[in-house]
């Protein structure tokens, strides 16, 4: 390995070195890595505790009008996770870790603004169109993926930006159903207590789906991509890109 590159602003394009030897580039800053790994257990605990709260009043199902297709999280699913109907414990965990989630989210927002990382996350005008190209490439229906600058492709920019917005929505709807009297204006903004609960539940389902897809994509991208979120660096050039 010939060099370690540490860009002061955005990550450079992964161009080969003059000697065509492997070298390392900074892919993820330290702050991004720390807040990413902090967020992972926080969201996991919040979803787990949220399921405890959900099971106390198992009212959500998917269907049309009175025709119910299936209920979310049947009893066998809850029993396998040992959720039981312990509402008080679920509420205690959920509210405690919600504050940590909020603090980490605010810190991440400030960090991306100060460091300019937001430029790597915010989709550009071509992002929506290019996202379909990335999807077709991932499904092996297109040979080449759309070209992109920086560390994230169009689909990743769209997805990560959406997840950040949904994180904010989860907090706002959570406060709306936690303090519907004190924060009546917030509850009313979401169409009332019941609607705020439905939105909060829908956001939770999206987070769970994102978790599954994200883990599959990490496994598909390979070990070097995973290690870059731990060390911050990715080895490129030479045979590293092929191995």
The reported pTM is: 0.71
Q: What parts of the chain have a pLDDT lower than 70?
A: 1-20, 56-75, 77-79, 81-86, 237-243
Backbone phi, then psi, for 222, in 5-degree steps? Answer: 100, 170
* Residue 41 sits in the same domain as residue 142: no
Instruction: For residues 71 and 164, state if they share a domain.
Output: no
CA nearest neighbour of 170 among 198, 213, 194, 204: 204
What confidence score (pLDDT) does residue 87 get?
76
What's residue 192's pLDDT? 94
- 155 and 240 housed in the same domain: yes
The predicted structure's pLDDT at residue 218? 80
Helix (H) or strand (E) holding 4: strand 4-5
Answer with the one of 108, 141, 176 that is the final residue of a domain.
Answer: 108
> What confidence score (pLDDT) does residue 9 get?
43
> Tokens at residue 236, please?
């490129």
Q: Is residue 98 part of a domain?
A: yes
Q: Are residues 71 and 170 in the same domain?
A: no
What's the number of domains the chain is made of?
2
Residue 191: predicted pLDDT? 93
The pLDDT of residue 224: 76
Domain assignment of residue 77, given as a range = 30-108
Q: What is the pLDDT of residue 31?
A: 86
Structure tokens given for 69:
């297709």
């Amino acid at each position: 390995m010939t060099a370690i590159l540490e860009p002061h602003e955005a990550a450079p394009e992964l161009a080969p070195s003059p000697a065509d030897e492997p070298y390392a580039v900074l892919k993820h800053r330290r702050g991004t890595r720390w807040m990413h790994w902090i967020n992972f257990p926080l969201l996991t605990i919040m979803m787990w505790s949220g399921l405890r709260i959900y099971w106390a009043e198992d009212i959500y199902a998917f269907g049309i009008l009175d025709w119910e297709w299936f209920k979310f999280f049947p009893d066998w699913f809850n029993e396998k996770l040992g959720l039981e109907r312990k509402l008080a414990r679920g509420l205690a965990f959920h509210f405690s870790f919600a504050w940590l989630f909020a603090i980490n989210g605010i810190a991440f927002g400030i960090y991306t603004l100060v460091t300019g990382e937001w430029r790597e996350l915010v989709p550009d005008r071509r992002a929506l169109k290019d996202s379909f190209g990335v999807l077709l490439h991932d499904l092996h229906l297109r040979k080449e993926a759309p070209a992109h600058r920086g560390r994230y492709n169009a689909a990743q920019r769209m997805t990560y930006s959406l997840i950040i917005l949904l994180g904010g929505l989860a907090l706002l709807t959570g406060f709306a159903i936690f303090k519907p009297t004190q924060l009546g204006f917030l509850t009313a903004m979401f169409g009332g207590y019941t609607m705020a609960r439905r939105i909060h539940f829908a956001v939770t389902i999206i987070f769970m789906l994102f978790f599954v897809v994200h883990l599959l994509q990490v496994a598909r991208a390979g070990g070097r991509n995973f290690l870059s979120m731990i060390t911050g660096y990715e080895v490129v050039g030479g045979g590293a890109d092929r191995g």
